Structure 1
C-alpha cells in the first residue's frame, strides 16, 4: 500500500510561504513583547514630575526626566542633596545601575566596578565589594602623605613651569588634563606615563577623550546604538579607540604580572594591590574573579575615570577660585597648614579640614568607592 505525505505534493513556493509565516509570527510576537515592556516602563515614569530642560532643574527640586521611547527606558537626573543622600545612603541597597548604563559603559570598562552592581545581582554584589575593598586600601592617610610629597607637588611644579614658559597664560583645561594623567598613572599602576609614552600620553589621550564622550552620547543622545550600532561610524571608531587604550593597559600590565610577591609588597599603587589580591584568590573559588582581563578593566577604569573626572574638577575649581578671591586665601591657608599636620592611621585631623570632600573627590574620582555609602551621602549633603 502506498502512503503519501502531504509534503509530497507541496511546492517550493508553499514551503517558502510556510517558513515566512512562521518567521513573521515570531517577529511580531517579539515586537509585541518589546512594546509591552516599553509601555510598562513609560507608565512607571509618567507620574514623576520634572521639566524637559536642565535650566529648570533647580526650580523643580533638582530633578529632570528624559522621556522613555520605543528605543529607550528613559532616565531621571537628580541634583538635590536630599535625593543624593536617599540614593547613596538611606536606601542605597535599593538603587542599582541600569542595564542601559552598564551596556554603554561595558565596551570600555569591561568587568570593573562601573559595570557591576552592589546588590540585586547574580553574585549578590560580591565583585563590586571586592574591587571597592581592594581599591580603598590605596587611599590611606599614609599613602596620601606620600602622594602629596612625591607626586602632587612634583607634577604641580612641572605644570607651573609650563605656565611660566607661556608667559603666565595657559589653557587651564589642558594643564589640568596633563597634570591629572601623569599623577593618576603613578597612583594607579606605579609606572610613570613617560615610560609608557614619550609624548606623555598625547598618543592615546585623544582616544580616551573620544571614548568617554561617546559613552555619554550613548546614554543621552544616541540610546538607539544598541540596535543600530552596525551602521554607525561612531561605534566603529569607539571600538578602535578602545583597542588603543586596552593595548596601553596590556603593555603596562604584562610586566607587572611577572613581578615577584616581594616586589609587589613594596608597592602601594592600585594595580599592585589588585595583583596581590588576584594571587591570594588563585586556586580557590574566586580564582576567576580577578583574571587578567578583569585586572586590565580595573586599570583602564581608574586611569580613564580618574583622569577625566579629576581634570574636570581641577578646571572647574580653578574657574570658581578665580571668581572668589576670599576663598583663594582660605584654600591657600589650609594648604599651608597641612605642613604642620601629623598624619595618623585614622586620619582624624584631616577629617576636620573644611575641604576634606574636595580632597577625597580629587583623589579617587568617586564617592562610593572611597567611603561607605552612608558616609558618602552624609558628606555630600554637608558639602
Structure 2
C-alpha cells in the first residue's frame, strides 16, 4: 500500500534534497559524536553513503535502525532520527523556537502552497496560526463539517459502493476515498461541490482535482533533485517538470481565485472556511488564498490514506468489524429509523462510539499518514536522551517507529489491539501526543484533528454498517452488502 503523497513529499524532500546540501554545509570538520558509532563513517563523506543507499526505503531503514539504540535515537549526520517521546516533547514544545520547519522543504513546496500556515515559521507563522485556530476551534465549524460529511456520504459514497456491490465490481478504495475527501474538503473550504466522486457536470472541479494531484506529484519530483539549483534553473527556463508544475498551479490558483471573487455573488451557508476567513475583513487575500490551498492538501490526502489502512487491517480481523457493528447497533437502537432507512450518525452518536474511535486510533498508531516529521536545528542543542544536535542538522521524529516501540506500547506493540485505548468501562482514553504524535504535538498540533476523527468515524461506521469488504489486491476492495 502506498504512502500518501503528502508523506512522500516530506520524506523525499528531506532525504534526497537536504542530505547532500546539509552535509556539505557543516561549519567545521569536528569529529563525529559517539552516537554515530552504529554506522560506518567514510572519509570526507561521512554517513552520506548510508542515506543515499537507503533513500528508497528511508522509513523502513530508520525504523530498523532506531531499536539498535537504547534511547530510541540514531544519528546519521546530518540527520538525527528519534522515536523517543522525551525528544519529541523537547523539539515540539520545550525548545520549539529552536526547531522550525525545514527551510529546504518550505522552499520546495512554496510555489504550491504559498505562504500559508503550513509553509511559514516564526512570527509570520504565529499570526497565521492564531487566526486559523480561532476558526477551527468553533463548535459551529464542527457541526458544519459533520453535515457536509454526512451529505457526501449518503449522496455519493454509499450509492457508489452499493452499485459496486450489486455488480460484483472490484474498486480501488483509496482512489474512491481520495475523491470523497476532496469533494468534502472543497465543500468545507469554499462551499463548492467539485463532484469528483460523481454527479452531472463538475468539469471544473475535476480539473482542479487532477491539477492538485499533478502539482503535488511534481513537487515530489522537484524535491528529488540533489540541489535546489537544478529545479530553480528549470523553473527559470520554464521547461520540463517545472513548466508542468506551473501549468497545474495556474489551474489550482485559478479555481481558488474564482471562488474568492464570486463569494458575494452566490448563496452560501457562511460556515465554510472562505466565508469565515473573509467575514470581518481582517485577513489579507494572500492569507485566505494560501491557507485554503494548504487546507485542501491536508484534507485530500491524510484522511483517505488513514481510512484505507484501517479497512485493510479490518479485512484480516473480522472480529474487530463484528465488535464495531455490535457497538453501532446498540447506539442505533436508541434512535428511530427515519424515511425507511438508516441515516448517517449524529454528533451525539459519534461521541458514544468508543470502540470504533479506539480501532481508528490503533490503526493510526501503526500506519500514521505522515510517518516522519523533520525539524531544522537552529542552534546546537542536547536532547533529553543525551544525543547532541549540531546547528544546521535536521531532527526527524518517526511516528511509525514510535508505534512499534516496546518501551512505549509494551511487548504487543506490533499487534492491532484497540482495547489498549479503552478503560475498564470501555470508554476511550486518549494518549499523550508525545507518545502518539500522529497529529503532531505542541504549538504545531494539527488544527484538523477533530475534523479528521469526525470524517473517519462517520465513514467507517456507515460503511461497516452496510457492507463487508474483502481485499483483492493491494488497494482494491470488493464490497458486499450485508
Partner of 2:276: 273
Residue aligned with 1:186, SS:
helix
The partner residue of 1:377 within 430, 434, 459 is 434
Once the two structures are superposed, residues 174-202 of structure 1 have per-residue CA deviations (whole angstroms, 9 ceiling, x without a partner) of 21222111211212221211499624843
Q: CA deviation at 1:107?
A: 0.6
2:300 aligns with one of 277, 288, 307: 307
CA distance in 1, matches of 2:194, 2:25: 46
Structure 1 residue 108 corresponds to structure 2 residue 135: no
Cα distance in 2 for residues equivalent to 1:320 and 1:153: 24
Q: Per-residue CA shift, 1:331-367, capped at 9, x if unaligned? A: 43444456559857xx975789425748999xxx889
Contact 1:188 1:270 (C-alpha < 8 Å) held by counterparts: yes
What residue ranges of structure 2 are gaps of 5+ in the alignment? 1-20, 40-49, 68-72, 335-344, 374-430, 441-482
Partner of 1:321: 314
More strand by share: 2
Correspondence for 1:203: 207
Q: Which runs of 5+ in 1 are unaligned?
A: 1-33, 68-73, 282-289, 369-373
CA distance in 2, matches of 1:196, 1:297: 29
Q: Which of the residues 39, 49, 60 maps onto 2:65? A: 60
Deviations 1:1-20 (A, max 9, x none): xxxxxxxxxxxxxxxxxxxx
CA separation of 1:382 and 1:360: change in aligned 2, threshold 3 A: closer
* Conserved? CA contact 2:178–2:300, under 8 Å: yes
1:183 aligns with 2:184: yes
SS of 1:38's partner is coil
Write the distance in 1 (CA, Å) between the matches of 2:189 and 2:279: 14
Number of the residue aligned with 1:292: 285
2:227 corresponds in structure 1 to 224
* Equivalence for 1:142: 143
Q: TM (normalized to structure 2)?
A: 0.54
State which drifts further: 310-319 or 105-114: 310-319
TM-score w.r.t. length of structure 1: 0.66
Q: Which residue of 1 aligns with 2:411?
A: none
1:244 aligned residue? 251
The 5 Å alignment of 1:356-367 reads 357=361
Identify, as 1 or 2, the structure richer in helix: 1
Q: RMSD value over aligned CA atoms?
A: 4.3
Contact kept? 1:207, 1:241, Cα under 8 Å = yes
Query: How many residues end up aligned between the 2 structures?
Result: 316
Corresponding position: 1:97 with 2:101: yes
Deviation of 1:256 (Å): 1.3
Larger radius of gyration: 1
- The answer to whether the 8 A contact 1:85-1:380 is kept is no
Contact (CA 8 Å) 2:174, 2:308: kept in 1 or not?
yes
**Offset at residue 162 of structure 1 (A):** 4.6
* Deviation (angstroms), 1:309: 1.8
